[in-house]
Chain A
């Protein structure tokens, strides 16, 4: 008996676990692919870390080849890649050429700043989009419906750094409300609206469709108060769409975060990356790009899994 139930249950369990396993395998493959791309492109750069050092100090040819051997730069690319990945998995990204400090330490101070900024922007963007979309659907208010289109156009057509510059000019300099640098208020609002604009229109359309569906009409017909219909019957339909669209938002957050960190002087991973690019600090460039890209892939995989988990239509 037990064997029979097991043999019945097993394929079902497998059917549930297989997509999860596939998503995780896809994520791992993408992460490996990113490391390969970054490594190969880094090899395109004329000259290596030792040449950069050689330009500044006076290293003899013998010292250079000695240093190259120490850093493993005389090994085949594949071997270097494997060694680098192995160390990176243990949190060791080598030393910065410019500052001689471990890159991991620089990341440790920059990453929390960036996580705070992107987390706040993401949350604000999501709340704003959900609020405006729900408001526009439930009240039919033309101002809110206009806002849906306004945010949408905003995120398509207005580069965040331009909005940032105008924001600094208006709020920090003309109105004197906020300090120009270091404050998170203005950049979070700018990136939040930008993120909201990416998702608010599809969200609104999905909600508008859900509002006319049978279960919402039934809920209304049986006399439930409006807020309860919205909360229990309308909002749950918005969750899967939001999750499906959040990948788009996460991707656009990368560009937005880099520009805002540079413009507002926030000491996050975007500033670190840009300073490294201008200073040709290759270990830092490599580490920051890989960390950001792999984190993005991981977060996209996580939202994808969550989406599958809560939306039964996805598992077929």
Chain B
């Protein structure tokens, strides 16, 4: 007697962790560990300028060389990992809370509230994320805090859409009709029967959006709007080094490779989470 799963789903469920996913998890763990241990392992102050050692290639003194201001690239990379991770993950977290919260409130108050509040969300969505983030940063000022808020607002609509899609998908099912027959109101049904179904979709959405948040953070930093000059981020390191690309390619390649490894492993892990939580609905998508 075996459980009769569709053949495709059985393969997905029983496959376990692929080597690709394991490698991605390892890379992410390494980056997080480096970021956590940064103050201990950074051999130099990331802001210290050594004017006698400008644009030094990688060597025993400076493992990844120095940039155009004589700052140690390795130290900046590991210290910068902290800002990059905190702002990227923080943005995703704010987006999750804001989008799911707004969506649930909109769904709790009946059809008109839903229509009106989702019209606002559609409007926010009409602005591309980087443009919206740029606008918010102009209004709030540059820095880590405003970037987290900007990312949160720019990516919140996706979570609200997931909440609405789950709500409407589940509310036509028999168990919801049964709960309604027993006299459960919209709020009761939402809280007791729909909220548990929501978790999977929201977590999947978070896993998919996390790399996009990190990418957007690095784009904003690259454009000079991500953080203050005394807090190095990977995007800002790329921007700073881009004018000296000919004399010190290592200063630009180090953060570029770091960003690519981070976003690549995050998106591989996001895909794994999506498959793991959502094995039967491969193609449903987030909208």
A168 to B242, CA, bound (A): 10
A262 to B130, CA, bound (A): 14
**Chain B minimum-CB-distance residue to A292:** B131
Interface string of B168-192 (1 = CB under 8 A from A): 0000000000000000000000000
Asked if A296 is at the interface of the complex by the 8 Å CB criterion, the answer is yes
Asked if B134 is at the interface of the complex by the 8 Å CB criterion, the answer is yes
CB neighbours (8 Å) of B8 from chain A are: none
Interface string of B213-248 (1 = CB under 8 A from A): 001101100111100000000010010001001100
A278 to B264, CA, bound (A): 31
| Contact present for B242 and A157 (CB under 8 Å) | no
Q: Which of A138-173 contact B (CB under 8 A)?
A: 153, 156-159, 161-162, 165-166, 168-169, 173
| Contact present for B225 and A296 (CB under 8 Å) | no
| Contact present for B140 and A173 (CB under 8 Å) | no
Q: Which of B104-127 contact A (CB under 8 A)?
A: 122-124, 126-127
**Chain A minimum-CB-distance residue to B130:** A255
Which of the 9-residue segments B10-18, B40-48, B92-100, B251-259 touches chain A? B251-259
Asked if A49 is at the interface of the complex by the 8 Å CB criterion, the answer is no
**Chain A minimum-CB-distance residue to B129:** A255
A289 to B256, CA, bound (A): 28
Query: Which listed residue (B128, B139, B245) contacts A254, Cβ 8 A?
Result: B128
| Contact present for B138 and A277 (CB under 8 Å) | yes
CB neighbours (8 Å) of A296 from chain B are: 126, 128
**Chain B minimum-CB-distance residue to A253:** B128
Shortest beta-carbon distance from B263 to chain A in Å: 5
Interface string of A1-36 (1 = CB under 8 A from B): 000000000000000000000000000001001100
Q: Which interface residue of B223, B242, B264 has the most chain A CB atoms within 10 A?
A: B223
Shortest beta-carbon distance from A73 to chain B in Å: 17
| Contact present for B128 and A165 (CB under 8 Å) | no
CB neighbours (8 Å) of A37 from chain B are: 123-124, 127, 135
Which of the 9-residue segments A38-46, A126-134, A215-223 touches chain B? A38-46
| Contact present for A173 and B134 (CB under 8 Å) | no
| Contact present for B128 and A252 (CB under 8 Å) | yes
CB neighbours (8 Å) of B263 from chain A are: 157-159
28 A-B pairs with CB atoms under 8 Å apart are: A30-B123, A30-B126, A34-B127, A37-B123, A37-B124, A38-B135, A44-B139, A44-B140, A157-B266, A158-B260, A161-B219, A165-B242, A165-B252, A169-B245, A173-B246, A173-B249, A251-B128, A254-B130, A255-B219, A258-B130, A259-B219, A262-B222, A277-B137, A277-B225, A278-B224, A289-B134, A293-B131, A297-B126
Shortest beta-carbon distance from B188 to chain A in Å: 34
A273 to B252, CA, bound (A): 25
Query: Which listed residue (A157, A254, A278, A297) contacts B260, Cβ 8 A?
Result: A157
